[in-house]
Chains A and B, each alone.
Chain A
Amino acid sequence: MAAQFHLEFEKPVVELEKKVDELNALAKNGLDISSDISALEARVEEMRNNIFSNLTRWQTAQVARHVNRPFTLDYIRLIFSEFVELHGDRNFGDDHAIVGGPARFEGKPVMVIGHQKGRDTKEKVYRNFGMPNPEGYRKALRLMKMAEQFGLPVITFVDTPGAYPGIGAEERGQAEAIARNLREMAALRTPIIVCVTGEGGSGGALAIAVGNRILMLEHSIYAVISPEGCAAILWSDGTKGEQAAEALKPTAKDIIRLGVIDEIIKEPPGGAHRNHQVTAIALKEAISRNLDELEKLSADELVEDRYRKFRAMTRCVE
């Protein structure tokens, strides 16, 4: 897929890549410039690696939100087969900001659930920018309970700015829906693997992220509040996201130190949005390996493993 949108700090790389393309076109016309091309390609690679291994936290947040970054349905297409999307919470409606249903992973049936963002304006609106309402969380829980009933492992993809803050969401119990998911996921008697693939936005992310294993893509973020939201509170200025991102320390590298996630999944050079296929292969390998380990545990052990995991998340002095 051609990346049509480029972040400010990606531009030097993109410029050089264009030059490589131009030279390649010339080479096709019979010009012998292969040594120039490979020199330039080496420079591109070096520059790309240099930029992406030194991203600031704010830049990482921008990569995590990149419009060309793979979304849940992309991963489902690339990693799973026979996905059957199921809709609705059997109560109020169907939330397009969360998708889910049974699918096969390496031939085995599993339940896949994830936040879904849109790429163009029309789809963004349709997906409510990936911000679920209570019925989205209730649909997710319904599918998780179904997974428990039929012995399917649950695999979730986390990518949301947060739960939607609207009047209807409050009236229908946004807080209750999230809270219930936290409690029910904790007790679910089947393996749960969580993949944080983009933005892990607060309670809206956590509501599908109480898992036995939590994997996080290299350039994704996960925090208690968005950098902009944090800045709006601390400095009454939502544009100071950069400072807030530094304070919140939301990157995979920051979080793995606190024992909140289990594994960081490497992204291809230039970020997941530059190569969906390679990203999906890396994620698939990690899911497969973790699933193999979890499938050795009994239902009781799975619940206890999950409890111990979250029980240990404390930093304080007595």
Chain B
Amino acid sequence: MSWFTKEKAGIEKSDSKKSKVPEGMWVKCPGCSGTILSLDIEANQNVCPKCGHHFRIDAVKRLKNLLDEGSWKEFDSGMTSVDFLEFKDAKSYQDRINAAVAKGGSKDAVICVEGAIEGTRVQVSVFDFSFMGGSMGSVVGEKITRSIERGITLKQPVIIISASGGARMQESILSLMQMAKTSAALAKLKEAGVPFISVLTDPTTGGVTASFAMLGDINIAEPKALIGFAGPRVIEQTIRQKLPEGFQRAEYLLDHGMVDIIIPRIEMRQKLSSILGMLRKTDF
């Protein structure tokens, strides 16, 4: 089944209207159709100040908004993917990796850091959707597993902020196995009594949703984020009927009991801090 429907739309088009804030002085907000000064949106964590529409935000910017200034250091930043299957469609996987790395920023689709939220030390992983649709192959799975293992060793809460089309097709079976690997690490974290908070942002689908992203002690979603297992197009093609209004949006998942709470990006840092304060055991 296709877990990659979103990836197709997103993987090459980091400049599509949904992702990040478009270049230029003025931006037309897809939420309220208002014309907003792009600087005002950026100053507001990529959220429309008028209607609260959440634009996508890059991983480093998100970390800056979330963590105490100067509190964080990155792990495994040099880890890169290998085209071990010699996977080729129009382009080879190796060319896709090279192109994504050349765009600047990270060397794969997730950044893993240790940092502090209002003084509480945490292990945080943030997906970079602009890197091959945030897809999970060996590197993403390995970095996240190590982050969880650091959480176990250091007794620090683990936070994963997902934005992903799912497992990475170009690593075939090994991408699939990253779902098992990361979930197995979470089993150990749970046994160690360390909290895991999953934050699902637009979009989180496929093998990422069907592994760690749904396994939070607390699952948090950003407003209106698309969250699901199968992509909407695949479902429509399978069942041959229109999907209900708001299907697979954060609010829909909240209604169906799949996420605990929807938290606007502006309040994320403060709410996370508050939750962590209450979930933390004192006898570590």
Contacts and interface: CB of A to CB of B under 8 A. Distances in A.
Given A248-B172, A313-B178, A162 B235 contact: no
A187 B214 CA distance: 17
Interface stretch (A7-15, A42-50, A112-120, A230-238): A230-238
Contacts, number: 209
Interface residues of A, number: 60
B234 interface: yes
Contacts of A307: 184, 188
B81 interface: yes
A306 interface: yes
Contacts of A254: 173
A223 B85 CA distance: 12
Given A166-B238, A224-B167, A317 B80 contact: yes
A173 B244 CA distance: 16
Interface in A197-252: 201-204, 206-207, 209-210, 222-226, 229-230, 232-235, 247-250
Interface stretch (B18-26, B31-39, B115-123, B137-145): B137-145
B207 A224 contact: yes
Interface in B123-180: 137-139, 141-142, 145, 167-169, 171-180
A247 B4 contact: no
B210 A203 contact: yes
Contacts of A187: 184, 187-188, 191
A224 B135 CA distance: 12
B202 to A, nearest CB: 16
Contacts of B181: 310-311, 313-314
Contact of A176 (B138, B214, B235): B214
A247 B76 CA distance: 29
Contacts of B85: 247-249
Contacts of B178: 313
A161 B235 contact: no
Interface string A178-207: 111011101100000000000001111011
Interface in A274-318: 306-307, 310-311, 313-318
Nearest to A244: B89
Interface in A2-42: none
Given A247-B89, A310-B181, A315 B82 contact: yes
B174 A313 contact: yes
A183 B187 contact: yes
B187 A225 contact: no
Contact of A175 (B142, B229, B234): B229
A201 B1 contact: yes
Given A176-B214, A310-B177, A183 B239 contact: no
A170 interface: yes
A1 interface: no
Q: How large is the interface on B (under 10, 10 to 19, 20 to 34, 35 or more residues)?
A: 35 or more
A204 B1 contact: yes
A172 to B, nearest CB: 8
A79 interface: no
A235 B4 CA distance: 13
A182 B183 contact: yes
A174 interface: yes
Contacts of B84: 258, 315
Contacts of B243: 167
Contacts of B218: none
Interface in A140-174: 161-167, 169-174
A174 B229 contact: yes
Contacts of B185: 311
Interface string B242-266: 0110011000000011100000000
A186 B187 contact: yes
Contacts of B89: 234-235, 247
A67 interface: no
B210 A179 contact: yes
A78 interface: no
Given A170-B228, A175-B228, A203-B207, A233 B4 contact: yes
Contacts of B78: 318
B210 A162 contact: no
B173 A210 contact: no
Interface of B: 1-5, 7-8, 76, 78-82, 84-85, 87-90, 137-139, 141-142, 145, 167-169, 171-181, 183-188, 190-191, 206-207, 209-215, 228-230, 234-235, 238-239, 243-244, 247-248, 256-258
13 contacts: A167-B235, A169-B230, A170-B228, A179-B213, A183-B190, A202-B167, A202-B176, A210-B180, A248-B85, A254-B173, A310-B184, A311-B185, A313-B174
Given A174-B230, A187-B187, A224-B168, 8 more contacts: A176-B258, A186-B183, A203-B176, A203-B179, A224-B171, A225-B3, A225-B4, A233-B2
